[in-house]
Structure 1
Amino acid sequence: MARRRNLRPEETEVWELVARTARAMHPARPKRPEAEAAQPKPLPKPAKPPGGLPDFRIGSRAAHLPARHDVTPTIAQQLEASPLRMDAGTHKAMRRGKILPEARLDLHGLTLAEAHPELIRFILNAHSAGMRLVLVITGKGKDRDTGGPIPTRTGALRHQVPHWLRLPPLGPVVLQLAEAHLKHGGAGAFYVYLRRHR
């Protein structure tokens, strides 16, 4: 670091000559009286929209949307929309709970990894035994929605079982799938109507 030194007399004389000819880059503004400085400036009035447009407020015309924005159809709606591949009269009797299931599988308390092999074993054994209607109980599931931007589904098994029943090795043996009647579990269970064993 350079050491500061005092100016010599000839250097001081040159410096004073230069300082007298210099002009300030930003001249000092005139001082305002203290009374003016203490008063805050009034806020400017908002400009009116040109052309006589009506006043606009954000959200004033927004539609009132439901709290959940789940656009996918429910399991019941998906099953209703699926094509009917069995006798209409038998399907109607099955949906009303008039046909008793020949066997049932309760998947309550199982994880997805545990439930999938159990479901495969149960459906294939029922099909090989010549059964036509079986009941698979999944439960309705717990509501675990945390209110985040992405909704979480209620009941993982309830949503996964219909997909498993459409995929191999179960898809070729399952003829129809329907939500169970209230006396057999309602929305927490499924009727699985199997194809004839050949």
Structure 2
Amino acid sequence: MGDQEVKLFGLWASPFSKRVETALKIKGIKYEYFEEDLSNKSSELLKYNPVHKKLPVLLHNGKPVCESLVILEYIDETWKSERSLLPEDPYARAMARFWAKFIDDKCIAAMWSIRRSSERPEKGIEELTEHLKTLENELKGKKFFGGDEIGLVDITANLIALWLGVLLELKGIELLTKEKFPRLCEWIDYYLDHQIIKETLPDRENYREYLSNVLKG
């Protein structure tokens, strides 16, 4: 598409920022990355996302796009000649959007409930267990949610691949196990072993230390 100016304002520990980085790398799009400090937000972040003042923000030729799922679709539609994140078939596309929204609306809410609780958060655990069962069933007969290759739903589910495991470990909750969720755990192994994912997601121990400090605070 000729000369493109692509900038990403993100945070190394944010699964939402990492979604966008993953999509850009899968598509082979060159971009400039700017690490943000959420305790001291840059004037650029406040300028480009004045409504939510949150990350990530993609800046494409001076035009800002906000909200990670919106950015993923924007990237897929803008760079059509590169590998697609969404299937061609309209129904399959609709289903991919449905599952991405399910992860953001249902799974994340239960994760946040567990994270915020100072004691054993039974309600959050119960809700998350049901949502993980739903995703386990959706993976039946598939390597990735997107089929044979990583797609929109897999990128959206990066929280389950890394962040959830660390959260449960720090909270002393045994939930996401191969006995309970064999397909989901197999998907996690495939996902984390993908070269682009290995290059993009934060180091588990670094993130564990980061989240441990956040939980203490």
- Normalising by structure 1, what TM-score? 0.26
Larger Rg: 1
- Normalising by structure 2, what TM-score? 0.24
